[in-house]
A and B are shown apart, each in its own frame.
Chain A
Amino acid sequence: MRARIKVIRMNEIKAKLKALLKNAELDLVIGYGERKIPTSDGSEITGICPLFVTRESGIDGLVWNRHCVHNLVTYLTKKEYKDYKKIAIFVKPCDLKAIYVLCQENQIDRQRLLIIGLACNGMIREKMGISTKELAGKCITCRESSEGAVARCQKEHTDLMIESTPEGSIPSSSEKKALTLEDLEKMSGADRWAFWQKQFQKCLRCYACRAVCPLCYCEQCVCDMSQPQWIEKSPHLKGNFLFHLVRAFHLTGRCIGCGECERVCPMGLPLTLLNQKMIKEVKDLYDYESGKDPEQAPVLSQFRVDDDESFIK
Chain B
Amino acid sequence: MEKTIDQACRSLKDELGKDKEWRPNIIAFLCNWCSYAGADLAGTSRLKYNSNVRLIRVPCSGKVDPLFILRAFADGADGVLVSGCHPGDCHYSTGNYFARRKFALLKRLLEFCGLDERRIHFSWVSAAEGGKWSKVVNETVEAVHKAGPFKGLEPHEGSDKGDKDE
Question: Footprint of B on A, CB under 8 Å?
Answer: 184-185, 187, 189-198, 201, 222, 228, 230-232, 236-239, 241-242, 245-246, 248-249, 252-253, 274, 277-278, 281-282, 285-286, 299-301, 303, 305, 307-309, 311-313
Contact = CB atoms under 8 A, between A and B. Distances in A.
Contacts of A274: 109, 112-113
Given A192-B112, A300-B102, 8 more contacts: A189-B116, A193-B162, A193-B163, A194-B161, A196-B113, A242-B70, A303-B100, A312-B122
Nearest to B115: A193
Interface in B144-159: 152-153, 155, 158-159
A129 B114 CA distance: 33
B153 A238 contact: yes
B136 interface: yes
Contacts of B121: 313
Given A197-B162, A313-B124, A189 B114 contact: yes
B70 A246 contact: yes
Given A194-B114, A241-B74, A242-B74, A201 B159 contact: yes
A197 B152 CA distance: 8
**Closest 9 interchain pairs by CB?**
A193-B114, A192-B114, A194-B162, A303-B97, A313-B123, A193-B163, A312-B122, A190-B162, A193-B162
A285 B162 CA distance: 28
Interface residues of B, number: 46
Nearest to A200: B113
Secondary structure dominating the interface of A: helix
Contact of A252 (B70, B71, B88, B109): B109
B67 A230 contact: yes
A236 B153 CA distance: 9
B124 to A, nearest CB: 6
A145 to B, nearest CB: 21
Contact of B98 (A201, A252, A282, A300): A300
Contact of A281 (B105, B136, B159, B162): B105
Nearest to A188: B114
Contacts of A311: 103-104, 107, 122
Q: Which of A185, A245, A253, A282 has the most CB of B within 10 A?
A: A245
A286 B104 CA distance: 11
Given A191-B162, A198-B160, A228-B4, A286 B114 contact: no
B66 interface: yes
Contacts of B153: 237-238, 241
Contacts of B123: 312-313
17 contacts: A189-B116, A189-B117, A197-B160, A198-B159, A198-B160, A201-B158, A222-B67, A241-B74, A245-B70, A245-B109, A248-B109, A299-B101, A300-B101, A301-B98, A309-B104, A313-B124, A313-B139
A236 B155 contact: yes
Interface in B99-135: 100-117, 121-124
A35 to B, nearest CB: 38
Given A246-B66, A252-B109, A286 B101 contact: yes
Given A194-B162, A197-B159, A197-B160, A307 B104 contact: yes
A312 B103 contact: yes
Q: Which of A236, A238, A278, A282 has the most CB of B within 10 A?
A: A238
B149 to A, nearest CB: 14
Contacts of B71: 230, 242
A187 B162 CA distance: 13
Contacts of A201: 158-159
B158 A189 contact: no
A190 B67 contact: no
B165 interface: yes
B104 A189 contact: no
